[in-house]
């Protein structure tokens, strides 16, 4: 062996990761399910023979993933964290950060949006109930108001697409669609603000939304899919790649990945 043999430090396996793995293993094996509680922090630390801070770090990760509900205040028998279930918030935050970091580029996001939203509206055309349709009409009415500010229009627009996704009756598809739409909310808003002819763009968006709604309400899945694809593609085209690229938070800096 040469004198120049190089040694690199071994990666340290950190305690909180071991705690995470132990909890994940019990979830994947079915031993722990929704509604079950983890032991209170102090007891849990003793059981696993680790520090309370390692437990707390692991719980924070699970909370951010939506796997754990926020613990209730107090120290009684209900004080341990409960396993819960909302994937959408954790999923949205994760995708939002990676979109902002430009780990996905705009073309990839647009294609993924089209795929998810085509699927969503096809399913919505088959499954949307009267309540979901009423909600969509309410959102369309509000967007039809010519005095609505751009930011509010953007939020109503997001909610319209989220309502369509939820009407699809598939929570995984709805969550992914919502996460992608949420991830680009801010760059879209910035691009909206830069548009010189907001009035004509908004008019186009209104017509598209009504056409999508009509296809979904009449149960025409193919037409709904065609309309939503045209809407998304046309919108990004009109917005101009440059406007979106220049929007802070999306590709504002030219980072190699």
Scanning residues 130 to 169, which ones bind its own copies (CB under 8 A)? none
Cβ at position 204, least distance to its own copies in Å: 26
Binding mask 7-46 for its own copies (x = CB under 8 A): --x-xx---x---x---x--xxxx--xxx-----------
Is the CB of residue 116 less than 8 Å from the CB of residue 173? Answer: yes
Is position 253 an interface residue for its own copies (rule: CB under 8 A)? yes
Q: Per residue in 39-65, is it b (16+ CB within 10 Å) or e — as a string? A: ebbeebbeebebeeebbebbbebbbeb
User: Cβ closer to its own copies: 70 or 131?
Assistant: 70
Cβ at position 109, least distance to its own copies in Å: 6
Q: For the range 229-234, what are the long-range contacts, defined as Cβ-Cβ under 8 Å and sequence gap of 24 or more?
A: 229/114, 229/117, 229/118, 231/205, 232/110, 232/113, 232/114, 232/117, 233/110, 233/114, 234/204, 234/208
Q: Is the dihedral of CA 104, 86, 232, 116 positive or negative?
A: positive
CB atoms within 10 A of CB 180: 24
User: Cβ closer to its own copies: 132 or 201?
Assistant: 132
Give dist(CA 204, CA 245) in Å, integer.
22
Exactly one of 38, 45, 91, 139 binds its own copies (CB under 8 A); which one?
Answer: 91
Is position 48 an interface residue for its own copies (rule: CB under 8 A)? no
Is position 192 an interface residue for its own copies (rule: CB under 8 A)? no
Is position 102 an interface residue for its own copies (rule: CB under 8 A)? yes
| Angle at CA of residue 27, ends 22 and 33, nearest 5° | 135
Residues engaged in binding its own copies (CB under 8 A): 9, 11-12, 16, 20, 24, 27-30, 33-35, 53, 56-58, 60-62, 64-67, 70, 73, 83, 85-87, 90-91, 93-98, 100-104, 107-109, 111-112, 115-116, 119, 123, 170-173, 176, 180, 186, 248-250, 252-253, 255-257
């Amino acid at each position: 062996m040469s004198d120049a043999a190089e040694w690199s430090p071994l990666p340290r396996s950190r305690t909180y990761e071991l705690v995470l793995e132990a909890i994940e293993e019990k979830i994947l094996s079915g031993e722990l399910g929704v509604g079950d509680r983890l032991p209170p922090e102090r007891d849990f630390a003793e059981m696993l023979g680790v520090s309370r801070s390692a437990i707390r770090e692991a719980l924070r990760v699970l909370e951010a993933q939506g796997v754990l509900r926020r613990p209730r205040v107090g120290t009684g028998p209900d004080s341990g964290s409960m396993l819960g279930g909302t994937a959408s918030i954790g999923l949205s935050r994760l995708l939002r950060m990676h979109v902002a970091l430009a780990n996905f580029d705009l073309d990839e996001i647009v294609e993924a949006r089209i795929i998810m939203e085509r699927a969503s509206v096809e399913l919505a055309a088959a499954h949307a109930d009267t309540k979901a349709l009423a909600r969509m009409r309410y959102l369309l009415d509000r967007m039809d108001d010519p005095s609505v500010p751009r930011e509010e229009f953007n939020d109503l627009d997001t909610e319209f697409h989220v309502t369509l996704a939820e009407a699809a009756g598939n929570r995984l598809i709805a969550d992914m669609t919502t996460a992608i739409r949420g991830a680009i909310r801010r760059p879209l808003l910035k691009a909206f603000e830069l548009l010189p002819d907001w009035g004509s763009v908004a008019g186009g968006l209104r017509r598209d939304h009504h056409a999508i709604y009509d296809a979904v309400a009449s149960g025409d899945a193919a037409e709904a899919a065609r309309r939503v694809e045209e809407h998304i593609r046309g919108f990004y085209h009109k917005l101009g790649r440059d406007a979106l690229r220049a929007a802070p938070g999306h590709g504002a800096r030219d980072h190699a990945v």
